A and B are shown apart, each in its own frame.
Chain A
Amino acid sequence: MTKEYLQRLSVAALVELAAKEGIKVPEGVERASLVEQILEAVEEDRDEREHSNNSAMRIKEKKYDIIQDEELESQEEADYPLPDRYNETRIVAMLRDPLFAFAYWDLKDADIEPLAGSPEFRDLFLRVHEVAAENGAQGDAYFDIPVKTTDESWYINLPNPGRSYFIELRCRVGDVERVLCRSNSVHSPLGEAALDYVYDLSDGADNDVLMLSGLMDYGASSARERIPQRIISMVDDDYLQIQG
């Protein structure tokens, strides 16, 4: 965001922008001071965003980097309304990483209205099932996450790597529990558990080539280093050295 752009805005627009940036605007603040504060906040945001990304993503960003007024409305005037929802009873699960899945859902009016209107309606919740068996048979392990009737999506922490999960949206009416819809399965990768072989040299393998590939220092890893993100972020870390 450029100073020039901000200076063209009305005080009301500046105050609105400041609020969006989380700046507390005291009564009678001077316009120039407001502009400076917004610029600082935007700069901080930009730094934070940049540092939350790895180097590959930071460089990719430059492809789209032609203006500094990121808030500028798109040139295209037409508006393209989207439906808020599709009025269907459905839940979809997506895998984000070995530790998290994302689920979104919708309940059609014909399903939710009688429920929510019932004096016996107690609550909605997600039941996350862990599927251990290779054949996908439902195991015993599950946990519940309470959700509101107004919720429509959730990030779900997956407790164990290398397992499949599916999610049911359930409701409780009186003493009765009902499954409203069931998601597809997602399979979380093994992550670091896949690396058990590093310690197993019984097949005569040599781990040096793996270390050079990116597992350097892994054998001496600390608990923190053992989480998959740690292994993966080696691209950005400094400890990978080629031994001469």
Chain B
Amino acid sequence: MSKGFVNIVLHAHLPYVRHPMYERFLEERWLFEAISESYLPLLRVFNRLRDEGVKFRLTLSVSPTLASMLTDELLQTRYVSHLKMLLDLADKELARTAADGRFHPLAKLYRDLYTQNLVDFTDTYRRNILRGFRTLEKEGYLEIITTAATHCFFPLYQDFPEAVQAQIHTAVISHGRIFGSEPAGCWLPECGYYPGLERFLKESNLGYFYASAHALLLADKRPRYGVYAPMACPNGVAVFGRDIPSSRAVWSADEGYPGDFSYREFYRDIGFDLPMSYIGPYIHDSSVRINTGFKYYAITGKTDDKRPYVPEEARRKAEEHAENFLYNRLKQVKKLATLMDRPPIIVCPYDAELFGHWWFEGPLWIEFLLRKLDAASRDGGLDMVTASAYLAAYPENQPGQPSFSSWGNKGYAEVWLDGSNDWIYRHIHKAIDRMSELVKRFPDEQGLKRRVLNQAAREVMLSQASDWPFIMKTGTTVPYAVKRVKEHLYNFNRIYENLCRNTVNTEWLTGVEKKNNVFPDIDYRIFGRETSRSAEIAPRSR
């Protein structure tokens, strides 16, 4: 019998960014960079491990907005163009660095990366990389779960139950359509939990969720096993707590693995380093410097005098760090085994985009780690597990009411409710109220009016993404985040006012539908106040 379990959870999410009216749109690069540097490299790692007989298991949460973008034809086509542009730049870089023994191999590394990405994206996955994750799920390597439809921070909507219900129900329907399966659990955006949220999870057959350590530690009952076993909410939905030491090892800027001096430096990019005359065609609008992905330096230390990146050295470090991570988990399990009467489960959740995008060597670290965990499992030390498998083995868990919590700064809501972003809630809450009012006034519409109401529901939900207040607070691309919230609220209000006047501008509506086309099977009636109706609204996909 295993002495302990580890559940690695990768949460993949990006907000819905799709601008068909523009040939190139700056923020669409968020998706392209994540595909190139995180999702495709991770898929290659998983496939390689599977092909070599490594028995790994992990949990992958894919947000409905990300899944929708990954299956969107326009964005798929644009990603191919983006890759071709990078391959063109790679050829130029190979020529530019031809005489430089330090940088030429790195230019080749990037050319190989983007060439492989193009092959995988177009040939292996026929432009839909979710096929790859779905196959791995069917084969038993991954458990794919869902999260709030547009990744809203739930605690700030707790007095708007129809909005919470709409987020969860729409997520589950979208997951069913895209993955052809019913998600067993839910990732709470930003680990944002408030007591009572579990009611909506249960209504959508979501049996578990993940939360911050203090959701359990500050629960109304002493958590007998701390965060090393789930707690059962009053309605039976299980909550797994995040393990703090595993988080720190990876997340901490100073002591975490990604800050090692041998790893690739994120901030030195030829998009900022090379003359405009050379790099112009590969940056935004030929004039706005941006990250291109071509980065030639190692972190080196707290200095501007960076040394060239040496992939072999970084690879050795990644293996060393994987070994260190495993060593610490084994030590943790050994200690916990003396204190618990069942094997502990160590939950290690991370943002998927950390691996590869910011921490270039992240996918490699995962590969080393999964290999080592598989070996440790054969020695009877530590088994990889998913939350579902754990709950099947240990269905009885200590009852308790977890505490309001998040993984944001100081553990509650201050990142998403702050002087920089608090103005949005007045408007979003009003839109939710108005959406509920529309459902009451138009309880069963068909045809054009139904289209209008469904678009209104999309717009309300898109305005709720936790990314917008986060960006306003942290200061990256703030004008874009502000504009997005305003755009969705404007669209909603326009629809609302039109419906009040019993008019519809079909041309305008069609334009908005084409642009903000997420959740094609949305049903506006989900915003009805009577939550018990939700089960009747739309059949669950299986």
Contact = CB atoms under 8 A, between A and B. Distances in A.
| Secondary structure call for the A interface | mixed
A240 B244 contact: yes
Contact of A46 (B227, B414, B475): B475
A3 to B, nearest CB: 10
Chain B: number of interface residues, binned into ranges? 35 or more
Given A184-B159, A235-B247, A240-B248, A67 B477 contact: yes
Contacts of B29: 66
A54 B190 CA distance: 13
B310 interface: no
A203 B221 CA distance: 12
A144 B408 CA distance: 30
Nearest to B353: A63
Interface stretch (B312-320, B372-380, B424-432): B424-432
Contacts of A78: 487
A59 to B, nearest CB: 5
B432 to A, nearest CB: 11
Residue of A74, A203, A208, A243 with most chain B CB atoms under a 10 A cut-off: A74
A80 B475 CA distance: 21
A209 interface: yes
Contact of B289 (A64, A68, A104, A153): A68
Interface in B396-452: 403-405, 407-415, 417, 422, 425-427, 429-430
A159 B25 CA distance: 48
B422 A55 contact: no
Given A2-B289, A62-B357, A76-B483, A92 B159 contact: yes
Given A53-B474, A57-B474, A67 B404 contact: no
Nearest to B216: A213
B336 A94 contact: no
Contact of B226 (A2, A56, A213): A213
A49 B475 contact: yes
A53 B339 contact: no
B490 to A, nearest CB: 4
A104 B224 CA distance: 40
Contacts of A102: 417, 422
**3 smallest beta-carbon distances between A and B, as pairs:** A213-B226, A232-B411, A97-B412
Contact of A63 (B158, B223, B351): B351
A60 B486 contact: no
B81 to A, nearest CB: 17
9 contacts: A63-B30, A64-B471, A66-B26, A67-B290, A74-B479, A194-B218, A213-B213, A215-B217, A243-B335
Contact of A82 (B155, B404, B427, B480): B427
Interface in B1-56: 14, 19, 22, 25-27, 29-30, 33-34
A206 interface: yes
B331 interface: yes
A67 B223 contact: no
Contacts of A240: 244-245, 248
B339 A208 contact: yes
B408 A54 contact: yes
A66 B290 contact: yes
Residue of B156, B288, B290, B425 with most chain A CB atoms under a 10 A cut-off: B288
B493 interface: yes
Interface of B: 14, 19, 22, 25-27, 29-30, 33-34, 155-156, 158-159, 194-195, 212-214, 216-220, 222-228, 241, 243-245, 247-248, 251-253, 255-256, 266, 272, 276, 284, 288-291, 328, 331-332, 335-336, 339-340, 351, 353-354, 357-358, 403-405, 407-415, 417, 422, 425-427, 429-430, 467, 470-471, 474-480, 482-483, 486-487, 489-491, 493
A210 B407 CA distance: 19
Given A195-B217, A209-B225, A62 B411 contact: no
A56 B408 CA distance: 7
Given A56-B247, A63-B30, A74 B480 contact: yes
A197 B216 CA distance: 13
A27 interface: no
A96 interface: yes
Contacts of A63: 14, 30, 34, 351, 353, 357-358
A83 interface: yes
B315 to A, nearest CB: 22
Interface string A195-222: 1010000010110111011110000000
Interface string A166-204: 000000000000000000100101111011010000010
A52 interface: yes
Contacts of B474: 49, 53, 57, 61
A94 B331 CA distance: 42
Contact of A74 (B213, B223, B483, B489): B483
Given A53-B415, A98-B412, A214-B226, 10 more contacts: A57-B409, A59-B251, A72-B479, A74-B482, A75-B26, A94-B413, A153-B426, A187-B195, A195-B217, A210-B222
Contacts of A203: 222
A91 to B, nearest CB: 11
Contacts of B478: 70
Contacts of A106: 426
A5 B285 CA distance: 13
Interface in A219-244: 228-229, 231-236, 238, 240, 242-244
Contact of B288 (A54, A72, A97): A72
Contact of A80 (B217, B479, B489): B489
A69 B358 contact: no
A62 B417 CA distance: 20
Contacts of A215: 217, 226
Contacts of A242: 245, 328, 331-332, 335
A62 B265 CA distance: 13
Contacts of A56: 247, 251, 351, 407-408
A30 interface: no
Contacts of A64: 27, 30, 467, 471, 476-477
Interface string A97-110: 11010101010000
